[in-house]
Amino acid sequence: MAPTHRPDGPGQALRRVLSLPALVLFGLVYLVPMTVFTTYGLVTVQTGGRLPTTYLITLVAMTFTALSYGAMVRAFPAAGSTFTYARAVFGPNIGFLAGWSLLLDYLFLPMINYLVIGLYLNTQFPSVAPWVFIVAAIAAVTALNVAGIESIARANVAIISAQAVFVVTFVVMALGAVDPGASALEPFAGNPSYAGGGTDPSVGIGPLLAGAAVLCLSFLGFDAVSTMAEETPEPRRDIPRAILWVTLTGGVLFMLLAYVGHLVMREPRCLPVVDASCTFADTAALDLMARTGGRWLGLFFIAAYVAGAFGSALTSQASVSRILYTMGRDGVLPRGFFGRLAPRFGTPVPAILLVSGVSLLAAWLSLGLLASMISFGALVAFSVVNLAVIKHYLVDSRRESGAGSRESESGGREPEVRSRKPGWLRHGLLPAIGCVLTAWLWTSLSGESLTIGLRWLTAGALYLAWLTRGFTRKPPLAEGGEEAPIGDC
Residue 274 lies in a domain: no
pLDDT tens-place string over residues 346-368? 888 898 999 999 889 887 877 66
Four-CA torsion 11, 17, 23, 28, nearest 10 degrees: -70
d(CA 301, CA 351): 33
Minimal CA–CA distance to 432: which of 40, 156, 68, 49?
Answer: 68
Average pLDDT rounded to a whole number, residues 95-107: 81
Does residue 273 form part of some domain? no
| Chain segment 206-217, per-residue pLDDT in tens | 788 888 888 887
Residue of 305 and 103 predicted with greater confidence: 305
Which one, of 81, 9, 27, 151, lies nearest residue 325 by Cα? 81
Q: What angle do CA 432, 84, 67 make, to 5 degrees?
A: 35
- One-letter amino acid identity for 260? V
Distance (Å, whole) CA 368 – CA 448: 10
- How far apart are alpha carbons 236 and 348 in whole angstroms? 23
Q: How confident is the model at residue 413 (pLDDT cuts 50, 70, 90)?
A: very low
Is the pLDDT at 249 greater than 80? The verdict is yes
pLDDT tens digits, residue range 437-452? 888 777 777 777 788 8
| Residue 266 near residue 181 (C-beta atoms within 8 A) | yes
Q: Look up residue 15 and give its DSSP letter.
A: -
What percent of the chain is predicted at pLDDT more than 70?
83
Q: Is 340 helix (H, G, I), strand (E, B) or coil?
A: coil
Q: Is residue 243 part of a domain?
A: yes
Distance (Å, whole) CA 70 – CA 239: 7
Q: Residue 432: what pLDDT?
A: 94
100 domain residue, yes or no: yes
User: Which pLDDT does position 387 carry in this prediction?
Assistant: 94
> Quick one: average pLDDT of 295-316?
87
C-alpha closest to that of 252 among 167, 372, 165 = 167
Count of structural domains within the chain:
1
Q: What is the pLDDT of residue 90?
A: 92
pLDDT at 138: 94
Q: Per-residue pLDDT for 406 more than 50? A: no
pLDDT greater than 70 at residue 64: yes
Least confident of 7-21, 378-392, 404-418: 404-418
pTM, entire model: 0.77
Contact 278, 271 (CB under 8 A): yes
27 or 404: whose pLDDT is higher? 27
Read off the pLDDT of each residue in 462-479 and give the average, rounded to a whole number.
76
Q: Let me know if residue 414 belongs to a domain.
A: yes
Give yes or no for a contact between 189 and 56, defined as CB atoms under 8 angstroms apart.
no
Q: Specify if 113 maps to a domain.
A: yes
Give me the pLDDT at residue 429, please.
92
- In the structure, what pLDDT confidence band is assigned to residue 204 with cuts at 50, 70 and 90? low
Candidate ranges 295-304, 314-323, 400-409; pick with highest mean pLDDT: 295-304
- Assign 257 a pLDDT band (cuts: 50, 70, 90): very high
Instruction: Give the pLDDT mean for 376-391.
Output: 88
Of the candidate ranges 80-94, 103-117, 267-281, 422-436, the one whose mean pLDDT is the lowest: 267-281
Q: 322, exposed or middle or buried, with CB in 10 Å at 0-12, 13-18, 19+?
A: buried
**pLDDT-derived band of residue 52, with 50, 70 and 90 as boundaries?**
very high
CATH number of the domain at 254, please. 1.20.1740.10
Alpha carbon distances (Å) from 223 to 220, 382, 425: 6, 9, 22
Residue 279's pLDDT is: 65
Q: Could you tell me the pLDDT band of residue 399, with boundaries at 50, 70 and 90?
A: low
Question: At 13, is the pLDDT very low, low, confident or very high (cuts 50, 70, 90)?
Answer: low
Rounded CA-CA distance 121/141 in Å is 17
Residues spanned by the domain of 388: 3-268+279-488
* Res 68: pLDDT: 93
DSSP 60-77: HHHHHHHHHHHHHHHH--
Which residues, other chains included, contact 296 with Cβ-Cβ below 8 Å and sequence gap of 6+? none
Reduced DSSP (H G I as helix, E B as strand, rest coil) percent helix, strand, coil of the chain, to 5: 70, 0, 25
Residues 123-146, mean pLDDT to the nearest whole number: 90
293 occurs within a structural domain: yes
Give per-residue pLDDT as tens, 153-200. 777 788 888 888 999 999 999 999 888 877 888 888 887 777 654 445
DSSP codes of every residue in 344-381: TT-S-HHHHHHHHHHHGGGGTS-HHHHHHHHHHHHHHH
Question: Cα–Cα distance between 171 and 186 in angstroms, integer?
Answer: 17
The mean pLDDT value of the chain amounts to: 80
pLDDT at 421: 62
Q: Is residue 89 part of a domain?
A: yes
Q: What is the mean pLDDT of residues 243-258?
A: 94
Lowest-confidence range among 44-53, 140-149, 200-209?
200-209
